[in-house]
Amino acid sequence: MTQEPGTGWLELSCVVDAPAEQVFALLTEPGQLRRWWGPHGFTVERADVDLRVGGAYRLTMRPPTGEVFHIAGEYVEVVRPARLVMTFRYEEPTPDDRETVVTLVLAAAGAGTRVDLGQGAFATQERLELHRGGWTDSFDRLRATAAADRG
């Protein structure tokens, strides 16, 4: 089935070896976000979070090469430790960027937590694939951060 332009949705899942409350903290606390957010090689220089419905977040990102950029949005739904819905936009967008909505659902998975992500709708398949790569790397880093916290 062929999707109409601009209807692309990204869906990914990962299992983190940590309880949901810890994973939720990793997803929402500024100091924790700075430890793992972004593709491999990227750093978060600053994370501002107002974790409430209608509250905003803003991440200052530094790629391995190039200038810093900013990701920002507002929280639409906050259900600790099970669900987080937020808008997502680049403050320095490319022509194919537009605001999307990210939904993160956390559920028990044995001794760990399954994180299901949905994001969209994307304007182009290229932007969807860029985010797929970014979230895949970020989930790798999230799992590694949780493992480091276990000792």
Q: What's the DSSP call for residue 3?
A: P
Q: CA 120 to CA 1: how far, in whole Å?
A: 18
Q: Does residue 60 carry a pLDDT above 50?
A: yes
Q: Specify whether the CB–CB gap between 11 and 117 falls below 8 A.
A: yes
Q: Is residue 3 part of a domain?
A: no
- The domain tally of the chain equals 1
Q: What is the pLDDT of residue 7?
A: 63
123 lies in some domain = yes
Q: Is residue 1 part of a domain?
A: no
Mean pLDDT of the chain: 94
Backbone phi, psi, residue 52, to 5°: -160, 155
When pLDDT is cut at 50, 70 and 90, the band that residue 1 belongs to is: very low
pLDDT digits (tens, 9 = 90+) for 93-143: 888 899 999 999 999 999 999 999 999 999 999 999 999 999 999 999 999
Query: What is the Cα–Cα distance from 5 to 149, expressed in whole angstroms?
Result: 42
The structure's pTM equals 0.93
| 143 to 32, 36, 98, 107: CA distances (angstroms) | 12, 9, 28, 15
CATH number at residue 134: 3.30.530.20
Question: Helices in the chain by DSSP H: which ranges?
Answer: 20-28, 30-36, 125-150
Per-residue pLDDT tens over the stretch 17-31? 999 999 999 999 999
Q: Alpha carbon 89 to chain centroid distance?
A: 11
- For 66, the domain range is 8-150
